[in-house]
Amino acid sequence: MADPSLATPLADPAVNRRGILATLTAVVLWTCNDTCGKLASEVFPTGEMMAIRGVFAIAIAVTLVFATGHGRILWQGARLFLRPMVLLRAFLDSVVVLTFLKALAHMQLADVTAISQATPIIMTLLAAAFGLERIGWRRLLAVLVGFLGVVLVVKPSTDGLTVYATLAVISAALVAMRDLLTRYIDPIIPSPVIALVTAVAGAFTGVLLGMTEEWRPAFVPASFYLMLAGLLVTLGNLAIVIAYRHAEVGVVAPFRYFSIVTALLLGYAVFASLPDAISIGGILLIIASGIYTMHRERVRRREANKGASIVVTGTPATSTRDTTSAAWTTR
C-alpha cells in the first residue's frame, strides 16, 4: 500500500455528491438498458442487437458532443480524442461485453448478476493496491455488507460455479479497471467524447460478434427497444465517466449496488415479478450500505477539517495524517 503521506487532500464534498448522483444515474440507466435488451433479445441475436444499439448510441453520443460545445474536437483529428488511455478504456469496455455475454450464455442470469456486483469490492481493493486511495475497515465493511445484500437478492446457485463464472469475475474486474482508468484520461478530453469512443467500440464489437450469427430484419417494432437502449447506455456511460473522473472511488463505489434495487422495481413493473422476504432483506442491506457510506464521508470530512484547523494554530502537521489514517484519500 502506498505511503499515506503521498495522498492529496480529500475531494471536495460537492464533487463527491456529484459523483454519487452520477453513479446512481448510471446504474439506473444501465438497468433500464438491460431491460430493453432483454425485450429485444426475443427478436434479435446478441451481435445484431449490440450493433443496432451501437448505431443509435453513436448518433446520440455525437449529438451530445455538439450539444455540449465540443464539436470542434471531432474536426481536430485523432491527436486529441484517440489518446491511448481513451482507446484502452474503450478496449476494456469491449472485452467486458464479450466476457459478460460468454458467461451469460452458459450461466443463470442471477449467478452472473451476483458475480458482476463484485465490481465495487474489486475497485476499492485495486484503488488501495495501486495507491490511489487508502482504505479503512469501516468503508470496506460497508462495501462487503452491500455485496451480501446483493447475494441475498439474486440468490446465486452452486450450478454457476464453473469456468464461465471465472469469465464473469474477469468481466467484473475489467469494469473496475475501466472505471479506475477513467481517472487517468487527460482532462482536456471532454466526458462526452469519451462516451462517443465507447459507443463506437461497442458497435464494432457487435459487428464482430454478429459475423457468427444469422441476422434478422432490423426494421421491426422491436427495434424501438434498441433505439431506447442506445440512448440509455450512452447517457449511462457519460454519467459513469463524470462520476469517476474526480469523485473518490471509496465514496461512490457502493452506490453501484443500487442497480439491484432498480432491477427489482423494473422486474415488477415490466415482468410482474415480486421479491420475496429474503430479497427484501437484501435490499435493506444495500440501502444501509449506501447510507453508512455517506455517514462515514461526513465523519471523515469533519476530522479532516479539524486536522486542518490544528495545523493552522501551530500543532505539528503530523496530526493531519493521524486524522485520516482510517479514511480514503484521493491522489
Neighbours of 163 (CB within 10 A): 8
Amino acid code (one letter) for 185: I
From first to last of the 331 residues of the chain, give the pLDDT tens digit.
344 433 434 557 788 888 889 999 998 998 888 788 878 888 888 788 888 999 999 999 999 999 988 888 777 666 666 788 888 999 998 888 778 777 766 776 666 777 777 787 787 778 777 776 676 778 778 878 878 887 787 777 666 567 788 888 888 889 889 988 888 888 888 889 888 998 999 899 889 888 888 888 888 888 899 999 999 989 998 998 888 887 777 778 778 778 777 777 777 777 776 677 887 788 788 778 777 776 776 676 667 667 666 655 554 444 333 333 222 222 2
Q: Phi/psi at 135 (nearest 5 deg)? A: -110, 135
Quick one: which of 88, 32, 67, 77 has its CA closest to 228? 32
Amino acid code (one letter) for 168: A
Amino acid code (one letter) for 89: R
3-state secondary structure the chain: CCCHHHCCCCCCHHHHHHHHHHHHHHHHHHHHHHHHHHHHCCCCCHHHHHHHHHHHHHHHHHHHHHHCCCHHHHCCCHHHHCCHHHHHHHHHHHHHHHHHHHHHCCCCHHHHHHHHCCHHHHHHHHHHHCCCCCCCHHHHHHHHHHHHHHHHHHCCCHHHCCHHHHHHHHHHHHHHHHHHHHHHCCCCCCHHHHHHHHHHHHHHHHHHHHCCCCCCCCCCCCHHHHHHHHHHHHHHHHHHHHHHHHCCHHHHHHHHHHHHHHHHHHHHHHHCCCCCHHHHHHHHHHHHHHHHHHHHHHHHHHHHHHHHHHHHCCCCCHHHHHHCCCCCCCC
Quick one: which of 154, 61, 57, 55 has its CA closest to 107? 154
pLDDT score of 327: 28
Quick one: which of 18, 22, 107, 32 has its CA closest to 259? 32
Q: Is 35 left (phi over 0), alpha (psi -120 to 50) or beta?
A: alpha
pLDDT score of 301: 63
Q: CB neighbours of 22 closer than 8 A, spacing ≥ 6?
A: 239, 240, 242, 243, 247, 252
Whether the CB-CB separation of 69 and 180 falls below 8 Å is answered with no
Q: CB neighbours of 241 closer than 8 A, spacing ≥ 6?
A: 182, 191, 194, 195
pLDDT score of 124: 74
Whether the CB-CB separation of 27 and 262 falls below 8 Å is answered with yes
pLDDT score of 63: 93
Whether the CB-CB separation of 228 and 35 falls below 8 Å is answered with no
Residues 167, 173: Cα–Cα separation, whole Å? 10
Amino acid code (one letter) for 40: A
Residues 213, 271: Cα–Cα separation, whole Å? 28
